[in-house]
Structure 1
Amino acid sequence: MQTRYLLALSLLPGFALAEASSADIQSQSQCIIALPASRVVAPPPQGTPAEQIRIISDSTRAQMGKQAVFSGDVSFTQGERSIAADRASLDQRTERLKANGNLMFQDSLFTVTADSLEARMRTNTATLKGAQYWLHGQQVHGDAEQLEITQKNNLILTNTNFTTCPPDNVSWLLEAEKIKIDSEEEWGEIWNAKLRIADVPVFYIPYMTIPVSDKRKSGFLFPGFSTSTTNGVEFALPYYWNIAPEYDLTFTPNYMSSRGLYLKTEFRYLAGDAQAGQINLEYLPDDKLLDTSPNRYLYHWQHKGALDENWRVQANFTDVSDNNYFNDLKSDVNRATDNQLSRIGELSYFERNWDLGIRVQDIKVLGEDEKPYQVLPQVNFNYRAPDFWKFVDFDFNTEVANFEHSRSDHATATRFHLAPSLTLPLHGPAGSLTSELKLLQTYYWQQNTQADSGLEETVSRTLPQVRIHGQINFERPAQMFGQDYRQTLEPQFQYLYVGYQDQSNIGLYDTAQLQEDYFGLFRDRRFSGLDRIADANQVTLGLSTRLFDEHNLEDMKLSLGQIFYLQDSRVNMSDTANAQAPSRSVLAAELDTRIYQDWFFSGAIQYDTQQQLTKKSEVTLDFRPGANKLLQFSYRYVPDLLNSSTNAQVNVSQAGLRGAWPINDSLYFVGNWYYDMDQARSVEVYSGFQYEACCWAVRLSYHYRIKTNFDDDFAPIQDNRAEFETGVFLNFVIKGLGGSGPLGVSDMLNDGLFNYRKPLYLRN
Structure 2
Amino acid sequence: MIHRTSLLRQHIQQALAPSRRPWLMALALCSGQPITPLYAADNHYLWDCRPSADGNNWQCDERASQEPAYQRPAHSKAARSSASQPASRALSAAARDWVPEEQLTPAQREAMNPGCCGLYQEPTREDADADADPELTPVRATASRSELLQETTTVMTGDVRMTKGFRQLSADKATINQKSGGALMEGNVQLREPGLLLTGDKFDLNLESGAARIDNASYLIHASNLRGAASSISRGSDESLVLKDGSLTRCEPGNNTWLLRGSEIRIDPAKNEGVGKHLRMNVKGVPIVYVPYLRFSTSEERLSGFLFPSISSTDDGGIDVTIPYYLNLAPNYDMTLSPRFISDRGAMLETELRHLSPQFATTVSGAYLADDDGGSDSDLQKLVDNGRITADQANPYQGSDRWLFNIDQQGGLDARWYSEIDFTAVSDDDYFRDMDTASLQVNSSTHIKKSGLVGYQAEHWNYRFKAEQYESISSQANTPYKQLPRINADGRYVLGSNWIVELNNEFASFDHRDADDDMLLTGDRLRLDYGLTWNKQWMWGFFKPGIGAKSLAYQFDDEHLKAGANDSPSFAAGQASLDTGLIFERDGSLFNHQYLQTFEPRLFYFYSQHENQDELIRITDRDQSVDFDSSDLTFSYSQLFRDSRFSGGDRIDDDNRLSVGLTSRILDPRDGREIFSASLGQIFYFDDRTVELDQTEAEALNNPESLRTRSEYAAQVTAQVGNSWRLQGNIEWDAKLYHRINGGSASLRYKDESARVFNLSYRYLRKPSLIDTNDADNDGFTTDLLLQSIEQVDFSFALPIYGNWNAVARYNYDFTHERELESLFGVEYNNCCYLTRLVARRWLDNELIDVVDTLELEEDTGIFFEFHFKTLGGIGSKVSNILKDSIYGYTDRD
Q: How does the TM-score come out when normalised to structure 1?
A: 0.84
Q: Classify the secondary structure of the residue corresponding to 2:576.
A: strand
1:382 to 460, 471, 490: 490
Q: Classify the secondary structure of the residue corresponding to 1:490.
A: strand
- Mapped to 2, the partners of 1:13 and 1:348 lie a distance apart of 62
Contact 1:104 1:114 in 2 (8 A): yes
- Mapped to 2, the partners of 1:529 and 1:153 lie a distance apart of 68
Contact 1:226 1:730 in 2 (8 A): no
Task: Measure how far apart 1:745 and its partner are.
Answer: 11
Q: Does 1:602 align with 2:728?
A: yes
Q: Does 1:621 align with 2:748?
A: yes
Q: Indicate the residue corresponding to 1:524 in structure 2.
A: 643
Contact 2:446 2:477 in 1 (8 A): no
Q: Indicate the residue corresponding to 1:663 in structure 2.
A: 801
2:537 to 424, 427, 451: 427
- Mapped to 2, the partners of 1:279 and 1:152 lie a distance apart of 42
Task: Measure how far apart 1:646 and its partner are.
Answer: 5.0
2:425 to 305, 314, 319: 319
For structure 2, list consecutive stretches of 5 or more residues without a partner in the other structure: 1-16, 24-107, 381-390, 617-625, 771-781
Q: Indicate the residue corresponding to 1:699 in structure 2.
A: 837
User: After the TM superposition, which residues 546-557 of structure 1 pair with which residues of structure 2 at under 5 Å, given as runs?
Assistant: 546-549=665-668, 551-552=670-671, 553-557=673-677
Q: Classify the secondary structure of the residue corresponding to 2:803.
A: coil
Contact 1:455 1:505 in 2 (8 A): yes
Instruction: Tell me the amino acid that sits aligned with residue 733 of structure 1.
Output: H
Q: Classify the secondary structure of the residue corresponding to 2:639.
A: helix
Instruction: Tell me the amino acid that sits aligned with residue 143 of structure 1.
Output: A
Q: Does 1:180 align with 2:266?
A: yes
Which of the pair is proportionally richer in helix?
2
2:612 to 473, 479, 502: 502
Q: Does 1:355 align with 2:462?
A: yes
Contact 1:25 1:137 in 2 (8 A): no
Contact 1:399 1:417 in 2 (8 A): yes
Contact 1:263 1:282 in 2 (8 A): yes
Q: CA 1:195/1:394 → structure 2, altered by over 3 Å: closer, same or farther?
A: closer
TM-superposition CA deviations, 1:214-257 (whole Å, max 9, x none): 745421523333353xx264333332332524122242525254
129-138 or 678-687: bigger deviation? 129-138
Contact 1:512 1:527 in 2 (8 A): yes
Q: CA 1:298/1:604 → structure 2, altered by over 3 Å: closer, same or farther?
A: farther
TM-superposition CA deviations, 1:657-688 (whole Å, max 9, x none): 21221112211111111112222221111122
Q: Indicate the residue corresponding to 2:694 in structure 1.
A: 574
TM-superposition CA deviations, 1:256-290 (whole Å, max 9, x none): 54xx2374614131142441223232547142446
Task: Measure how far apart 1:568 and its partner are.
Answer: 1.6
- Mapped to 1, the partners of 2:453 and 2:848 lie a distance apart of 31
Q: CA 1:543/1:482 → structure 2, altered by over 3 Å: closer, same or farther?
A: same
Q: CA 1:122/1:150 → structure 2, altered by over 3 Å: closer, same or farther?
A: same
- Mapped to 2, the partners of 1:148 and 1:613 lie a distance apart of 82
Instruction: Tell me the amino acid that sits aligned with residue 10 of structure 1.
Output: S
Q: Indicate the residue corresponding to 2:81 in structure 1.
A: none
Task: Measure how far apart 1:363 and its partner are.
Answer: 1.6
2:858 to 723, 729, 734: 723
Q: Indicate the residue corresponding to 1:364 in structure 2.
A: 471
TM-superposition CA deviations, 1:83-108 (whole Å, max 9, x none): 33455465666655443454321223
603-612 or 243-252: bigger deviation? 243-252
Task: Measure how far apart 1:140 and its partner are.
Answer: 2.1
Q: CA 1:206/1:340 → structure 2, altered by over 3 Å: closer, same or farther?
A: closer
Q: Does 1:137 align with 2:223?
A: yes
Q: Classify the secondary structure of the residue corresponding to 1:717.
A: coil
Instruction: Tell me the amino acid that sits aligned with residue 299 of structure 1.
Output: L
Instruction: Tell me the amino acid that sits aligned with residue 471 of structure 1.
Output: G
Q: Indicate the residue corresponding to 1:10 in structure 2.
A: 19
Instruction: Tell me the amino acid that sits aligned with residue 683 of structure 1.
Output: L
1:442 to 526, 536, 552: 552
Task: Measure how far apart 1:573 and its partner are.
Answer: 0.3
Q: Indicate the residue corresponding to 2:509 in structure 1.
A: 402
Contact 1:11 1:119 in 2 (8 A): no
1:739 to 873, 882, 894: 873
> Rg larger in 1 or in 2?
2
Instruction: Tell me the amino acid that sits aligned with residue 318 of structure 1.
Output: T
- Mapped to 2, the partners of 1:709 and 1:640 lie a distance apart of 27
Identity of aligned residues (%): 23
Q: Does 1:310 align with 2:310?
A: no
- Mapped to 2, the partners of 1:45 and 1:683 lie a distance apart of 61
Q: How does the TM-score come out when normalised to structure 2?
A: 0.73
Q: Indicate the residue corresponding to 1:542 in structure 2.
A: 661
TM-superposition CA deviations, 1:61-103 (whole Å, max 9, x none): 899x977776676555555433334554656666554434543
Task: Measure how far apart 1:731 and its partner are.
Answer: 1.0
- Mapped to 1, the partners of 2:601 and 2:477 lie a distance apart of 46
Task: Measure how far apart 1:426 and its partner are.
Answer: 1.0
Q: Indicate the residue corresponding to 2:826 in structure 1.
A: 688
Q: Classify the secondary structure of the residue corresponding to 1:485.
A: strand
Contact 2:257 2:285 in 1 (8 A): yes
Contact 1:537 1:566 in 2 (8 A): yes
Contact 1:455 1:504 in 2 (8 A): no
Contact 1:642 1:648 in 2 (8 A): no
Q: CA 1:622/1:314 → structure 2, altered by over 3 Å: closer, same or farther?
A: closer
Q: Indicate the residue corresponding to 2:312 in structure 1.
A: 225
- Mapped to 2, the partners of 1:150 and 1:122 lie a distance apart of 12
For structure 1, list consecutive stretches of 5 or more residues without a partner in the other structure: 1-7, 15-21
- Mapped to 1, the partners of 2:112 and 2:832 lie a distance apart of 12
680-689 or 268-277: bigger deviation? 268-277
Q: CA 1:428/1:299 → structure 2, altered by over 3 Å: closer, same or farther?
A: same
1:640 to 752, 767, 770: 767
Instruction: Tell me the amino acid that sits aligned with residue 593 of structure 1.
Output: A
1:489 to 599, 602, 606: 599
Q: Indicate the residue corresponding to 2:888 in structure 1.
A: 756
Q: Classify the secondary structure of the residue corresponding to 2:139.
A: strand
Contact 2:321 2:340 in 1 (8 A): yes
Q: Indicate the residue corresponding to 1:236 in structure 2.
A: 321
1:591 to 717, 741, 748: 717
Task: Measure how far apart 1:155 and its partner are.
Answer: 3.8
Contact 1:417 1:440 in 2 (8 A): yes
Supply the RMSD in Å over aligned alpha carbons. Answer: 4.1
2:367 to 259, 263, 281: 281
Q: CA 1:657/1:321 → structure 2, altered by over 3 Å: closer, same or farther?
A: same
Contact 2:112 2:118 in 1 (8 A): no
Q: Indicate the residue corresponding to 1:5 in structure 2.
A: none
2:406 to 301, 312, 316: 301
TM-superposition CA deviations, 1:698-755 (whole Å, max 9, x none): 111122111345765xxx3369x9632222211112335x227999999664244xx5
Q: Indicate the residue corresponding to 2:586 in structure 1.
A: 476
